[in-house]
Structure 1
C-alpha cells in the first residue's frame, strides 16, 4: 500500500494528528477552517474507506445569513481501531469511540460510543462490536 503511505504522510504534513497503521482511502475530504489547533485526530489502526467527509468546520462563508445561523468549528476525533465506511460524513465536535464502526453513507451528528456500530442518516446505533 505505498499510495496509502503517501496519503497518510501528506495529511500528517498538513498538521493532522494520525496514529500508526492507519488506512486512508481515496477521496477523503476534510473541511477545516485554518486554525492553530489540531482539528482532526485519528488514532492507530483506523480504517477510513473511500469518499469519507470529515467536516471540522461549517459556516455559510460570505452569505448575508451568517449572523443569523449557527456555525460550527470543532475537533473530530477517531479513536484507535475504528472503521469508517465509504461515503460517511462526520460533523464537527464528534468523537468516534475505540473499535467503533460507522456504516457506509452514515451522517454522524453525535458521538459514537466505543465498540458501537452506527448507520443511517442521522447515524443511530444498530449493533455492537462483540469481541471474544
Structure 2
C-alpha cells in the first residue's frame, strides 16, 4: 500500500521503518508465539499479558504510517491466519484522486477470542469476553460478551457470563 498524496502524513526514520518491517515479519512467521508477540511490540503495538497470537498473523498497514494503532488486551487469543487491517488504500489507482485512504485503530479488549481466518477492518473495537467466529469479516464494533460470525459479522448471541 502506498499513498499517492504523501503530504498528509509525517515522514518516519529509516530505523522506524526497518524495525516495523522486522516486527511484522516476526509477527507473521515466527515459529513460537512469544516471538510473534515480540514482533508486534517491535512495531509499536500494545500487547497485554497472557496473550496468544496464532501463526500467519497479517497486519495490513503502511510501515511509514504512525497514526495507525493496534491495542491487544490481556488474555486475548488470536487464531491462525487472522488479518488485522489498520490502513487501506487504492495504491496507484486513479481512485486515489477521489477516495481517501482508510486508516485507524483496532482494539481487542481483554479476554476476547478471534477465530482462525477472521478479518478485522480499521476503527473496530472487539469487546471484552467476545468471540469472533472463524472466517468472519468484522466491519463494526463488537459489544462486550457477544459472539459474532459471518460476512459481514453479525451478532449470533450474547454470552451470559460475568
* TM-score grouping bracket, smaller chain normalisation: over 0.9
Structure with the bigger percentage of helix: 2
Distance in structure 2 (CA, Å) of the matches to 1:102 and 1:65: 32
In 2, the alpha carbon distance for the partners of 1:77 and 1:21 equals 16
Structure 2 residue ranges without an equivalent (≥5): 1-30
Count of matched residue pairs: 131
Deviations along 1:34-84, one digit per CA (max 9) or x if unpaired, are 333451110000000000000010101111111223421000000000000
Residue equivalent to 1:18: 47
Runs of 4+ in structure 1 off by over 4 angstroms are none
Does the alignment pair 1:73 with 2:103? yes
Larger Rg: 2
Q: Which has the higher strand share?
A: 1
TM-score by length of 1: 0.94
Q: CA RMSD in A?
A: 1.4
Which TM-score applies when normalising by structure 2?
0.77
Q: What runs of 5+ residues in structure 1 fail to find an aligned partner? A: none
- SS of 2:32's equivalent? helix
